[in-house]
Amino acid sequence: MRYTVLALCVVGVCVVAWFLRPRPRYNVLLVTLDTTRADHIGCYGAADAYTPTLDALAQGGVVFEHAYATVPLTLPSHTSILTGLYPPENGMHLNGRGRLDEQLPNLADTLRREGYNTGAFLASVVLHAKHGLDHGFQLYDDDMAGGERQGHESHLMRNADQVVDSALSWLDGRTDDPFFCWVHLFDPHAPYDSHAEVFQDRFDDRPYDGDIAFADLHVGRLVEFLKSRSLYERTLIVVVGDHGEGLGDHLEDEHGFMLYNSTLRVPLIVSGPGFCRAGHRVETAVSQVDLFPTVLECLRIDAPGRVSGVSLRDGLLGKPVRSRLRYAETEAVSDAFGWAPLSGVADESWKYVRTTREELFNLQDDPEEVHNLSEARPEKLEEMRQRLESLRQQMAQHAAADVHLTDADRRKLESLGYLAGESTPRIRHDDDTRTLPDVKDMIVYYKTEVDARRLIREGRIDEAIERLQNVIEASPEFIPARMTLGTALQKQGRPEEAVEVFQAAIGIDPEADAPRFELGKHFAAMGETAKAIEHYSAALERDPFDATTHFNLGSLLFAEGDVEAARAHYEAGLSEFPDSVVGQYNFSVLLFSRGDIDAALRHARRAAELSPENPQIQFHLGRVFASAGDFNEAVTCFQRTLRLAPGFPQAEEHLRQAQRSRLAR
């Protein structure tokens, strides 16, 4: 009997030890695909797609057929992915606005507290650390150095190969402790690239798909790394889009303006041995906010606070997923133009969008969202309207901290097609917007204005003017059309008419700074310095952070002999846009004229770094070096000037003088 009891005790100890054994610490790889439509990926039915990596992950994992973004914009949608909260709950509504509150739990901070190594590798300035998504990451690589540039002024993005190179370098040293690695790929964002260097002519007529294929290629490098290091078997891989792309659907070429599924439906693929029923496809619609609780449940980690999402673990196991109401919004058009913001809810069958002209769609019968049933089904409209109100009332509203955008920041966003009107007052979703313009009515005017800019670049100014005049007649308060018309008239040699257009824009919107800036440029070009200074100053009263206005005003004041005032404007401009070639060069010229050689040299060198092929800057830098007594560098600069621009005025004379001075030493 004694031996029997002893044996039972041994067995009991073994059973307890088995239950108390350390749980395997699974890694997490989160890949977010910017601007990626689900219906342009092979595993989602796109027959002409080339996405072998994503298709293989889908075959070995789970595909969510109907996953939706909370916002068709990069920064707020990623915030929802990382926090499990809708925009009203995390306070992040727009690109370029706000900083996420560190008190709100997010995926990186939660996993870091559990002992995970955390690294993020970003492909666009839109996700800069200043917006707070870096909280919880030991490394937040948002350095765009070496990435695509807009002219010579600013880095905007990194291609997938560069981002994945950085991620693999970090992962290479983290094969023992568990890691959470977030890789963001921006490639499918406009302007698109067919990547002929990789795919030859395969995507010449559909470069958007070429960008997706390029991103897929480099996701493949991440997967191969995991397999080569025996990490694949213990890594949960999540691939999700941040939002889609209009591609002309509903007259929306890109994204951010509307809430149709062309810009809200995203790919969501989850793969991981032990986590997923291979090849399963979930038909129930889900939201980005569901990812945070899903990852935590897979890792057996309790959620640290309230989230709006629910775990999709059952779906990964092949079990049914309960249908829930989904929320989405966009404030992009209200922020930029004062049009009505959009918010909406959807279930499996119906979708409602709140705006000036409400929309109601039967998603089962009309998946393309073509037939607005708001008038035909008033009872369903009221039901969905009430469901939206109820859902918003359940949200714990949270405001993000303000973030000041420098002029460089705003230019970068604008260069990527985003509208960063920092001085525009926000119109909230709970405001009465029934009298505001509806994006459905206004988008045709916006598209015409964008097309007019293209015509101006192509020299087809008469066509541009005619189209813009038609827009202004139909929509007098659409200021961008007036601004572009004024530019077109200037280029056509009709300055007086351009002035009238800009002045009319001020009459419509007295707080607008852009027309005053354009009037400042106009009068400066006409030699009417006093008027130019007046209008530039008025523009700065409304937007004191615009670097270009500071630089232009500084140049006028310097020419007028008001050196101290000019200096103050150059310094203000460079504080906002330190990588401005024009600002650095002009400030150096001013400093040089005042005999401040050390400071002049510092700014001239920076201008040369930013624009190394500019002969004017090289010539000026040579003069500053000569004044500093560094004749070797002066000779080099003058020689470079002549290589870049043979016959450059005075360069040969200054070169001879610098050579003589060097020999004299």
Residue 149's CB is within 10 A of a number of other CB atoms, namely 14
Lowest pLDDT segment from 237-241, 404-408, 439-443, 451-455: 404-408
CA angle 640, 644, 647 (to 5 degrees): 95
Query: Which DSSP string corresponds to 15-38?
Result: HHHHHHSPPP--EEEEEEETT--G
Q: What value does the mean pLDDT take over residues 73-85?
A: 97
Query: Contact at 8 Å (CB) between 429 and 354?
Result: yes
pLDDT at 386 over 60: yes
pLDDT of residue 424: 42
pLDDT at 7 over 70: no
Higher model confidence: residue 170 or residue 303? Answer: 170
Q: CA 12 → CA 9, 15, 281, 396, 623, distances in Å?
A: 5, 5, 41, 48, 87
pLDDT of residue 417: 62
pLDDT at 415 over 70: no
At residue 6, what are phi and psi to the nearest 5 degrees? Answer: -60, -40
Q: What value does the mean pLDDT take over residues 60-78?
A: 97
What lies within 8 Å, CB to CB, of 623 at 6+ separation is 592, 634, 654
Q: What value does the mean pLDDT take over residues 449-477?
A: 95
Query: Which H or E run includes 106?
Result: none
pLDDT of residue 10: 43
Q: What value does the mean pLDDT take over residues 14-27?
A: 53
Residue 434's CB is within 10 A of a number of other CB atoms, namely 11
pLDDT of residue 362: 98
pLDDT in tens, 617-646: 999 999 999 999 999 999 999 999 999 999
pLDDT at 445 over 90: yes
Average pLDDT of every residue of the chain: 90
Q: What value does the mean pLDDT take over residues 196-213?
A: 96
What lies within 8 Å, CB to CB, of 560 at 6+ separation is 529, 533
pLDDT of residue 572: 93
Q: What value does the mean pLDDT take over residues 364-381?
A: 97
* Residue 426 half-sphere exposure toward CB, CA atoms < 13 A: 17
Domains present along the chain, CATH in parentheses: 27-323 (3.40.720.10), 580-665 (1.25.40.10)
pLDDT in tens, 554-591: 999 999 999 999 999 999 999 988 888 999 999 999 99
Residue 12 is given by DSSP the state: H
pLDDT at 260 over 70: yes
| 269 SS3 class | strand
pLDDT of residue 19: 39
Local confidence band at 409 (pLDDT 50, 70, 90 cut-offs): low
Q: What value does the mean pLDDT take over residues 140-153?
A: 63
Local confidence band at 343 (pLDDT 50, 70, 90 cut-offs): very high
pLDDT at 194 over 80: yes
d(C-alpha 491, C-alpha 468), whole Å: 14
Lowest pLDDT segment from 271-275, 396-400, 474-478: 396-400
pLDDT at 411 over 80: no
pLDDT at 214 over 80: yes
Lowest pLDDT segment from 372-381, 396-405, 514-523, 616-625: 396-405
Q: What value does the mean pLDDT take over residues 167-183?
A: 91
Percentage of the chain with pLDDT > 90? 78
pLDDT of residue 216: 98
Q: What value does the mean pLDDT take over residues 461-471?
A: 96
Q: What value does the mean pLDDT take over residues 405-425?
A: 57
pLDDT at 597 over 80: yes
d(C-alpha 592, C-alpha 121), whole Å: 42
